[in-house]
Amino acid sequence: MQATLDKGSVRFITFGCKANQYDTQVLREALLRRGWNEAQKESDLVVINTCTVTAEAGRKARQVARRLARENPEVRIAFTGCLAESEPELLRELPAVHWVLGNGEAKRPVNFLRELGEELDPEELGIPAGITEFAGHTRAFLKIQDGCNMSCAFCIIPQVRGPSRSRPIAELCAEVTRLVQAGHREVVLCGIHIGHWGLDLGLELGQLLEALASLEIADDEGALDWRLRLSSIEATEVTGGVLEAMARHPRRITPHLHMPMQSGDDGVLRKMNRWYSVEEYLRCCELIRAALPAPAFTADILVGFPGEDERAFTHTLEAAREAGFCRIHAFPFSPRPGTRAGRPAEVGTPVPVEEIRSRRARLSEEAHALGERFKRGLSGQRDTVCLEGRAGLSGRYQRVEVREAPARLQGRLVDVALELESEEVEGEVRTRLIGLLEGEPR
Interface residue list for ligand SF4 (CB under 6 A): 148, 150-152, 155, 157-158, 192-193
Of the pair 15, 99, the CB lying nearest ligand SF4 is at 15
Are 306 and 269 in contact, with CB atoms under 8 Å apart?
Answer: no
Smallest distance, ligand SF4 to C-beta of residue 340, A: 11
Of the pair 278, 292, the CB lying nearest ligand SF4 is at 278
Beta bridge partners of 299: 328
Smallest distance, ligand SF4 to C-beta of residue 258, A: 12
Query: How many angstroms separate the CA atoms of 22 and 143, rounded?
Result: 6
The C-alpha angle 408, 414, 420, rounded to 5 degrees, equals: 120
Smallest distance, ligand SF4 to C-beta of residue 192, A: 5
Query: What are the helix and strand counts (H, E) for the chain?
Result: 14, 20
Of the pair 180, 190, the CB lying nearest ligand SF4 is at 190
Smallest distance, ligand SF4 to C-beta of residue 76, A: 32
Question: What is the enclosing helix (H) or strand (E) of 365?
Answer: helix 353-378
Of the pair 112, 331, the CB lying nearest ligand SF4 is at 331
Of the pair 284, 402, the CB lying nearest ligand SF4 is at 284
Of the pair 101, 157, the CB lying nearest ligand SF4 is at 157
Smallest distance, ligand SF4 to C-beta of residue 235, A: 12
Strands 428-437 and 413-425, bridge-based pairing? antiparallel
Using DSSP, state whether 383 is helix, strand or coil: strand
Smallest distance, ligand SF4 to C-beta of residue 194, A: 10
Are 276 and 263 in contact, with CB atoms under 8 Å apart?
Answer: no
Of the pair 151, 431, the CB lying nearest ligand SF4 is at 151
Are 161 and 82 in contact, with CB atoms under 8 Å apart?
Answer: yes
Short-list 264, 276, 243, 369, CA closest to 308: 264
Give the HSE-up count for residue 14: Cα atoms under 13 Å, Cβ half-sphere: 16
Q: Please count the other Cβ atoms lying within 10 Å of the Cβ belonging to residue 164.
A: 22
Strands 37-38 and 9-14, bridge-based pairing? parallel
Smallest distance, ligand SF4 to C-beta of residue 182, A: 29
Are 147 and 163 in contact, with CB atoms under 8 Å apart?
Answer: yes
Question: What is the enclosing helix (H) or strand (E) of 286?
Answer: helix 278-291
Using DSSP, state whether 89 is helix, strand or coil: helix
Strands 218-219 and 97-101, bridge-based pairing? unpaired
Of the pair 156, 385, the CB lying nearest ligand SF4 is at 156
Smallest distance, ligand SF4 to C-beta of residue 23, A: 15
Beta bridge partners of 100: 79
Of the pair 46, 269, the CB lying nearest ligand SF4 is at 269
Smallest distance, ligand SF4 to C-beta of residue 184, A: 25
